[in-house]
Amino acid sequence: MPRTNREIEELIEKALEKLHTQSRLNISKVAREFDVPYQRLRSPYRGKKSLFEREPRRKLVSGDHTNCEYVTVVEAISTDGFCVPPLIIVTAAQLQFRWFDDLKNEHIAITETGYINDQLAYQWIQHFEKATRERMKGSWRMLICDGFGSHLTYEMVKYCEDKKILLFFLPPHTSHLLQPLDLVSSAIESATATGCTRFSKIDFLAAISSIRTKTFTLRTIHLGFKLSGIWPINPNIV
């Protein structure tokens, strides 16, 4: 599963500190060590703002950015270009009907932090099972996970075994090499950079469908799996 921007930015800060102490610069090596995208580490090191910090080229909305809240979007894609309807986790105490006005097939959940928890992880795996059940080729489905291991409960493992879902967790510090969504993260950055980067909760929920439409194209998904060597299988890439 993709990590949150907050977690990535914290790792980038630590990576920058190490870069500034190096006598021989090697951004690529430090990016691998801290498991962060190379491009997102290189830009701030050279004094440039990341795409998440830049002002938008054209201002679509003027969200309130003085009161920040965290949002988690749980995504799953397959090698044939299929996207499981995402789970959007927002910071709130209760759901509001107006949040659903501009959504298509996205699902919404709430937590006090905006992050996923064990209960939502278990609910999401059930959502994944229903969304992919009719698409099975063979007896088992493989789900390659990134950053999901902390929510691996016995209940979830038992459910996956019963439903013939094979969980495979990426090794630590390999996302920049093996995570298809990380390898094509520039597509997400480009999609968000063309609009407003300062979203209120309502603005974000209104924009997420169009952002995903621009990002999760068949070409982009195929490229992510190809660059990671997952499909077509190519271990020589890594």
Question: From first to last of its 238 residues, what are the pLDDT tens digits of the chain?
Answer: 345 666 777 788 888 888 778 777 788 788 888 887 776 777 665 555 544 444 444 444 444 445 678 889 999 999 999 999 999 999 999 999 888 888 889 999 999 999 999 999 999 999 999 999 999 999 999 999 987 777 899 999 999 999 999 999 998 888 878 888 876 665 566 555 655 556 678 888 888 898 888 889 998 899 889 888 999 998 887 7
Tokens of 193: 């950079």
Distances, alpha carbon 93 to alpha carbons 64, 97, 121, 183, 193, in Å: 19, 13, 18, 34, 30
pLDDT number for residue 35: 82
Q: Would you report the helix, strand and coil content of the chain in percent, each value rounded to 5?
A: 45, 15, 40
Residue 65 to residue 63: CA distance in whole angstroms: 6
Q: Say which CATH topology domain 72-237 has.
A: Nucleotidyltransferase; domain 5 (3.30.420)
pLDDT number for residue 199: 65
β-pairing, 141-145 vs 72-77, is: unpaired
Nearest to 177 by CA among 11, 22, 28: 28
Q: Do the beta carbons of residue 179 and residue 154 sit within 8 Å?
A: no
pLDDT number for residue 133: 96
Tokens of 38: 């190379």
pLDDT number for residue 46: 58
pLDDT number for residue 4: 60
pTM for this one?
A: 0.69
Positions of CATH 3.30.420 in the chain: 72-237
Q: Do the beta carbons of residue 124 and residue 87 sit within 8 Å?
A: yes
DSSP states of 29-41 as a string? Answer: HHHHHHT--HHHH
Residue 202 to residue 63: CA distance in whole angstroms: 9
Q: Looking at the DSSP assignment, which residues form a beta bridge with residue 76?
A: 84
pLDDT number for residue 143: 96
pLDDT number for residue 182: 79
pLDDT number for residue 9: 76
Q: Do the beta carbons of residue 132 and residue 84 sit within 8 Å?
A: yes
Residue 224 to residue 77: CA distance in whole angstroms: 10
Give the distance from CA 28 to its chain's centroid.
21
Residue 206 to residue 56: CA distance in whole angstroms: 17
